[in-house]
Amino acid sequence: MWPFSSTVRFADLDFRTDVHSHILPGVDDGFGTCEDSSEALGLLYRAGLRRVILTPHIYPELYPGNTPETVREVFSGVSEVFRSSGMDCRIAGEHMVYEGVEESFSKEKTGSVLRLSRSSVLIEMSYAFEAANIRSFIFMLNSYGLVPVLAHPERYAYYSRDLKSIRSLLDMDVRLQLNILSLGGFYGDMARTKAELMLGSGLYTYAGTDLHSISQIRQLESLRIRKRLVPAMEKLLENNEMLWSDL
């Protein structure tokens, strides 16, 4: 412990439930093998984590094989191995917002959608440009009783640090999810600056690791966050627990 430090180790916080990860093997740009996934779950368990929501990318252009059915099938194939790590895992999806995404969320299909929880869906956008249909898509999800949770808004280059655009999104029924590693500068100084501003301003509801590799577990272990941001971060970690319980 550094008694006079203005930062604290993230690993010292009570982080029990991760709500964003790419640990399901062989389905996207995350973990490639079941062995690596099991190793990751073991490391996370020893670090104190007990529950992980698996959120593979759902984006037909890049991952045409990822449908609710195929992803659930892969999950059921590994769930026994995963259970042996001691970690409680459940399956969801990280849905890219693209032109035409509404089709896979049509009224008839909402029953099979890979939800983050009973009443929420994890969504993401391109890092380079804001989806033209983001607001109409949020509105559509809301009309089905679903609350979209937008992943890592601090990493979107088109949202400036004055946070005006991000705040305007929050006029709708949407929640924001911090990528925890943004606070360590792993995605650049601008993402870190925006993440700290947004966390300090209470704009986030949840926090996820967005874990893609074992090396990112090392980054989490080394992560230090500003002491003044600890209460806000603890609140997000508490909210993660509530999200897990929303079944």
Helix axes 68-83, 34-46, angle to 10 degrees: 60
210 binds Fe ion (CB under 5 A): yes
Q: How far apart are CA 170 and CA 166, in angstroms?
A: 7
CB closer to Fe ion out of 78 and 181? 181
**Shortest-Cβ-distance residue relative to Fe ion:** 210
DSSP assignments along 87-106, one per residue? -EEEE--EEE--TTGGGGGS
Closest approach of Cβ 246 to Fe ion, in Å?
20
Choose between 19 and 233: whose C-beta lies nearer to Fe ion. 19
Tokens representing 226 are 């500003």
Closest CB to Fe ion among residues 8, 125: 125
Stretch that binds Fe ion, among 37-45, 72-80, 86-94, 159-167 (CB under 5 A): 86-94
What would you measure as the largest C-alpha separation in the chain, in angstroms? 57
Q: Is residue 18 a contact residue for Fe ion (CB under 5 A)?
A: no
Q: Report if residue 94 touches Fe ion, rule: CB under 5 A.
A: yes
Residue type, 243: L
User: Taking CB under 5 A as the rule, which mask of x and - marks residues 125-164 in contact with Fe ion?
Assistant: ----------------------------------------
Q: Is residue 145 a contact partner of residue 107, using CB atoms and an 8 Å limit?
A: no
Give whole-number Cα distances, 157 to 106, 120, 165, 195, 204, in Å: 30, 25, 12, 12, 18
Stretch that binds Fe ion, among 65-73, 92-100, 128-136, 226-234 (CB under 5 A): 92-100
Q: Give SS3 for 153.
A: helix
Instruction: Identify which of residues 212 and 235 has a Cβ nearer to Fe ion in the complex.
Output: 212
Rounded to the nearest whole angstrom, what is the least distance from the CB of residue 18 to Fe ion in the complex? 11
- For Fe ion, give the closer residue by CB, 28 or 196: 28
Find all residues with CB under 8 Å of 30, minimum gap 6, and list them.
21, 22, 23, 24, 56, 211, 212, 213
- Count the site residues for Fe ion by CB under 5 A: 2
User: Distance between CA atoms of 24 and 242, rounded to whole angstroms?
Assistant: 23
Backbone angles phi and psi of 172, in degrees to 5: -95, 175
Shortest distance in whole angstroms from residue 195 CB to Fe ion: 15
Residue range at the interface with Fe ion (CB under 5 A); choices 103-111, 141-149, 205-213, 229-237: 205-213
Query: Which residues contact Fe ion by CB under 5 A?
Result: 94, 210
